[in-house]
Structure 1
Amino acid sequence: MDDNVLIQVDGPRLATANGEPVLLRGVGLGGWMNMENFVTGYPATESLQRNALRRALGEQGYERFFARFFEAFFADADAEYLASLGLNCVRLPFNYRHFEDDDRPFELKDDGFRLLDRAVDACARHGLYTILDLHAAPGCQNQHWHSDNPTHWAFFWTHRHFQDRVVHLWEAIADRYRDNPWVAGYNPLNEPGDAGGTAIGPFYRRLHEAIRAVDRRHVLFLDGNRYSTQFDMFGDPSEPWPNTVFTVHDYALPGFVDGGDYPGVSRGVYVDRGVVERTFLERTEYMRRTGTPIWVGEFGPVYTGDPARDERRYRLLEDQLEIYREHRASWSLWTYKDIGLQGLVHATADSSYLRLIKPVLDKKARLGVDAWGSLDTGVRHILDPIERTFAEEFPDFAPFPFGQRSWVNVLVRHILLAEPLVADFERCFAGVGPAEAERLADSFRFEHCARRERLAGILRESS
């Protein structure tokens, strides 16, 4: 292993073994080995999308579509572009299903490792570190779509079987990459949502010991509970977690799809740079108290297509990056590539893939089914009486993680309305043959995508 490249925790900073400080500045590769509805356009969850595509395309078409998709979505050209902006890291989210089938637990498949190897090697060729991120765990570690959860319950925390499988998977991952210096470290669970708050601490201790028995040299990036915003489960700061970074996610209200002006009011709260910085300092208090490095594993606004509104979101992003620089925080912008909502690059509206699924995209927007990427204005006639009833009948009901209104929206928009839309998505692919399926996947190839140049310029100036 090349100690001149390998990153380790050195007090409040990350550094190479020879003491050279390292600030990680990069992007998350959402939508690739862990797919999300707003990133590539399907409704509901990845597993429901895959089932629909298998039915519509047949087994051969399905296999050829995804083989081409994985090759096209992230390749050397993408890594080269990121390096050209002065970035030095890519967070690689993945779904456990690439490594293990539910009907054959603990039997690991080579397919997932080959995909990870491809991305890790492409990044290394261009001087980019990678952080390996289990974004969707068996049993679902949080309540939302990005853990491939078709419900609103995180069963991972109540079933030891699911936890055993994650430990087993990370032991294998650590063994495979323990001698790779371009892997900056392991991010074992994205945005955990342990509603009871009692299982996550013991599980993290167990996972930490299991990985450290295999690999002591790579950094562990551990997300806080409640979607990487709470850190009390790590316990007494005087009891060290060796070579560990506690990871915060730092989305700001004005950057959400329903965000208002910046500076200005979003969801009834006035937000300016001072509020953004105070929120960051509150979320990172544990890191500063423990004297450990700060890594913002996710942050970033979504864009509307309205130049004036988007300019205010770029201003928000610039303020966040300036705050991170002042506090010596590493960061990973969400996300690199998508269909136009948030990505640094995106598939074009006239691409064959987006033209094919446009009826579904329009209907998704009208019904507001994407929790991250759409508004609820078209379904207020459904939501208003439900929310009013809950406010009147259950005024003290405040479900984890984000309260009553969010809970109702997830159940109605993301589950009740989104699941039937999967059939609409399936019908878009009726009659598509294997060769055409490959051409559709090519819509995500770097040379076919558009670049968000204003965003690229901000990142270049901040790197």
Structure 2
Amino acid sequence: MRKYKPNSFATPGVNLGGWLVLEKWMTPSVFTETDATNEYELSQTETGIKRIQRHRQAFIQEDDTKWLSRAGVKLLRLPIGYWAIEDQPPYVSAKPQIDWLMDTAERHGLKVLLDLHAAPGAQNASDHSGSGNTNKVQWHKRANRQKTTQILLNIADEYGDHPALWGIELLNEPLVATWYRRWQLWRWTQKTSQKLRGKLPPRVRIVVSDCYQPAWWSGRIGNNTLDIHHYQCFSDKDNQATALAYHQKLLAQQSNKYRDYSRQQPLIIGEWSAALPPRIASSNAEFAHCQSQLAIPSNVDAWFYWSYKTENPGAWNFRDCYSKGWFNDTRPHAADQLNRQKRSRLI
């Protein structure tokens, strides 16, 4: 089996979540005085399109990219919908914003991972997955799979040669509840990757979600990059834990697994956060959890915090956490300073 040698230092990145694919919990003000619970529903309200366009103009601006560059962030994972480069009613294209971000990122030394976060028919049951009906996952229908492949090829045609493009992620967190669905997704991944690779420069990565099943997907995606999402605040076991020690032990176990996976193919942590379950969460506990997790990315090529910012402070808001000193080691020259400190202790 082919062995892959991971980078010794993970490149820091953030997700630009809640911008071009809305999530109400991240930006509740966009939904005020409406009954809409997701972008699909909001797009069909009387003022929905205007609200969305105003939000797109205001939420991420050039000052944000300047700040991220100064903070030592190198990569941006940009969640986009299948309406990204052309209208897909009721959704409205976000191409002007993507064009702007790609050019702005290049100016400020940032690279972009374009992540198809919302697919035709919805690839999972979340409110951001491409359908207002969160009870039905219909991406696996042949027409939706074919449409998704074409959308990815269109994205490659549009941005494949852009200097700021770091990669294209095929799907975000697709749901595979049965072995047949998993096989179906795997075959689609193989075929779509081959078509994309024919359009993309070798430097541009093709990224594949682990579907929260990394042990199965690792080693089965060829030269593509595997995306693992690491959270410790959603499962029943995580929520039942009453001590930070449980999360530290779990983190250590997962770190060993990630090290093994990273030998099979390039690996990234596409989403992670310092958030902990409510019964444990506190500023001190989440700070400690954040510092512990920052040790894991040495096994991966890159990590992307979820998310750059939200309307409220807290563990989901990278900018807020950074301002508290939680990410001092991502600051420019921090690695050089850390190495000097280590050498001084040895003298």
Matched to 2:137, the amino acid is A
Matched to 2:291, the amino acid is E
Matched to 1:112, the amino acid is A
CA-atom RMSD in angstroms: 3.2
Aligned equivalent of 1:26? 13
Please state if 1:248 is matched with 2:116: no
Partners of 2:27 and 2:117 lie apart in 1 by 16
Answer yes or no: is the 8 Å Cα contact 1:250–1:280 preserved in 2: no
Q: Secondary structure at the match of 1:186?
A: strand
Partners of 2:23 and 2:11 lie apart in 1 by 24
1:74 to 43, 54, 60: 60
Residue correspondence of structure 1 range 449-460 to structure 2 within 5 A: 451-455=320-324, 457-460=325-328
Please state how far the C-alpha of 1:207 moved relative to its aligned partner. 0.9
2:200 to 204, 215, 218: 215
Please state if 1:344 is matched with 2:325: no
Distance 1:103 1:334, change over 3 A: closer
Residue correspondence of structure 1 range 249-288 to structure 2 within 5 A: 249-253=229-233, 263-264=244-245, 270-272=246-248, 274-282=249-257, 285-288=260-263
Q: Secondary structure at the match of 2:112?
A: strand
Partners of 2:323 and 2:239 lie apart in 1 by 21
Answer yes or no: is the 8 Å Cα contact 2:124–2:174 preserved in 1: yes
TM-score (norm 1): 0.61
Gaps of 5+ in 1: 1-9, 15-20, 265-269, 346-450
Q: Secondary structure at the match of 2:121?
A: coil
Please state how far the C-alpha of 1:66 moved relative to its aligned partner. 2.8
1:90 to 62, 76, 90: 76
Please state how far the C-alpha of 1:183 moved relative to its aligned partner. 0.9
Residue correspondence of structure 1 range 54-453 to structure 2 within 5 A: 54-55=45-46, 57=47, 62-102=48-88, 111-149=93-131, 150-157=133-140, 159-196=141-178, 197-217=182-202, 218-225=204-211, 228-230=212-214, 232-233=216-217, 237=219, 241-242=222-223, 244-253=224-233, 263-264=244-245, 270-272=246-248, 274-282=249-257, 285-288=260-263, 290=264, 292-302=265-275, 309-325=282-298, 327-340=299-312, 341=314, 342-345=316-319, 451-453=320-322
TM-score (norm 2): 0.80
CA shift digits 1:222-272 (9 cap, x unpaired): 1112xx4335256xx4x7723x211111112499995866524xxxxx322
Gaps of 5+ in 2: 332-347
Please state how far the C-alpha of 1:71 moved relative to its aligned partner. 1.5
Matched to 2:136, the amino acid is W
Answer yes or no: is the 8 Å Cα contact 2:309–2:318 preserved in 1: yes
Matched to 1:282, the amino acid is K
Distance 1:23 1:301, change over 3 A: closer
Q: Secondary structure at the match of 1:281?
A: helix
Partners of 2:176 and 2:239 lie apart in 1 by 27
CA shift digits 1:354-393 (9 cap, x unpaired): xxxxxxxxxxxxxxxxxxxxxxxxxxxxxxxxxxxxxxxx
Partners of 1:144 and 1:90 lie apart in 2 by 22
Which structure carries more helix by proportion? 1
Worse-superposed segment, 37-46 or 252-261: 252-261
Q: Secondary structure at the match of 1:198?
A: helix
Please state how far the C-alpha of 1:118 moved relative to its aligned partner. 0.9
Partners of 1:263 and 1:103 lie apart in 2 by 46
Partners of 2:300 and 2:51 lie apart in 1 by 42
Distance 1:284 1:259, change over 3 A: farther
Please state how far the C-alpha of 1:12 moved relative to its aligned partner. 2.5
Distance 1:331 1:204, change over 3 A: same
Partners of 1:338 and 1:312 lie apart in 2 by 20
Matched to 2:5, the amino acid is P
Q: Secondary structure at the match of 1:133?
A: strand
Answer yes or no: is the 8 Å Cα contact 2:239–2:277 preserved in 1: no
Please state how far the C-alpha of 1:135 moved relative to its aligned partner. 0.3
Answer yes or no: is the 8 Å Cα contact 1:249–1:297 preserved in 2: yes
Partners of 2:114 and 2:4 lie apart in 1 by 22
Partners of 2:69 and 2:242 lie apart in 1 by 32
Partners of 1:93 and 1:287 lie apart in 2 by 24
Partners of 1:254 and 1:313 lie apart in 2 by 15
Distance 1:72 1:162, change over 3 A: same
CA shift digits 1:375-429 (9 cap, x unpaired): xxxxxxxxxxxxxxxxxxxxxxxxxxxxxxxxxxxxxxxxxxxxxxxxxxxxxxx
Partners of 2:66 and 2:308 lie apart in 1 by 13
Q: Secondary structure at the match of 2:18?
A: coil
Partners of 1:155 and 1:202 lie apart in 2 by 17
Matched to 2:228, the amino acid is V
Partners of 1:298 and 1:287 lie apart in 2 by 16
Answer yes or no: is the 8 Å Cα contact 2:15–2:76 preserved in 1: yes
CA shift digits 1:27-66 (9 cap, x unpaired): 0011011111211124632211232xx32x3xxxx44433
Please state how far the C-alpha of 1:286 moved relative to its aligned partner. 3.2
Aligned equivalent of 1:379? none
Please state how far the C-alpha of 1:101 moved relative to its aligned partner. 4.8
Distance 1:280 1:100, change over 3 A: farther
* Rg (Cα) greater in structure: 1
Answer yes or no: is the 8 Å Cα contact 2:125–2:137 preserved in 1: yes
Q: Secondary structure at the match of 2:168?
A: strand
Distance 1:229 1:250, change over 3 A: farther
Matched to 2:200, the amino acid is D
Identical aligned residues as a percent: 23
